[in-house]
């Protein structure tokens, strides 16, 4: 299942109701979360510099020892959010809808001859 995750773009929007961190509102752009994460980390790190911003942008130069490769590989690393859909169709949020009433609370007098008195027994 891990192979199905895809990176999210910074302008894409997430709704996270439970388990949310760093964000006050449950709906936010991916870029806003990445910025909040960078700010939270920079606030805790006394030696934070502009060089560290690479974690959240173009990446930092590094070497990685990865499965299936014959040793260290040079490249870049960065922090991103990824997403995998549960189904192929987007899920609509449940929004309560008002049920339409069958007749108005106060009948319009111009329809009295059509409907008769609403209190009449049938």
Q: What is the mean pLDDT of each run of 10 residues along the chain (122 residues)?
A: 82 93 94 93 87 90 94 95 82 66 63 60 56
The whole-number pLDDT of residue 88 equals: 62
Cβ of 34: how many Cβ atoms within 10 Å?
20
The whole-number pLDDT of residue 78 equals: 93
The whole-number pLDDT of residue 110 equals: 66
- CA distances in angstroms from 86 to 4, 16, 66, 83, 89, listed in the order given: 10, 15, 28, 10, 9
The whole-number pLDDT of residue 121 equals: 59
Distance CA 68, CA 59 (A): 22
The whole-number pLDDT of residue 59 equals: 93
Q: Is the pTM of this model over 0.75?
A: no
H/E stretch holding 34 reads helix 30-44
């Amino acid at each position: 299942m891990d192979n199905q995750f895809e990176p999210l773009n910074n302008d894409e929007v997430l709704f996270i109701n439970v388990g949310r961190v760093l964000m006050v509102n449950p709906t936010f752009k991916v870029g806003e979360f990445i910025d909040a994460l960078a700010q939270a980390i920079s606030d805790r790190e006394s030696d934070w510099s502009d060089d560290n911003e690479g974690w959240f942008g173009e990446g930092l130069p590094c070497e990685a020892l990865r499965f299936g490769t014959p040793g260290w590989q040079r490249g870049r690393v960065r922090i991103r959010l990824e997403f995998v859909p549960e189904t192929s169709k987007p899920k609509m949020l449940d929004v309560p809808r008002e049920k339409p009433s069958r007749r108005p609370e106060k009948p319009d007098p111009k329809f009295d001859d059509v409907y008769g008195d609403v209190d009449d027994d049938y």
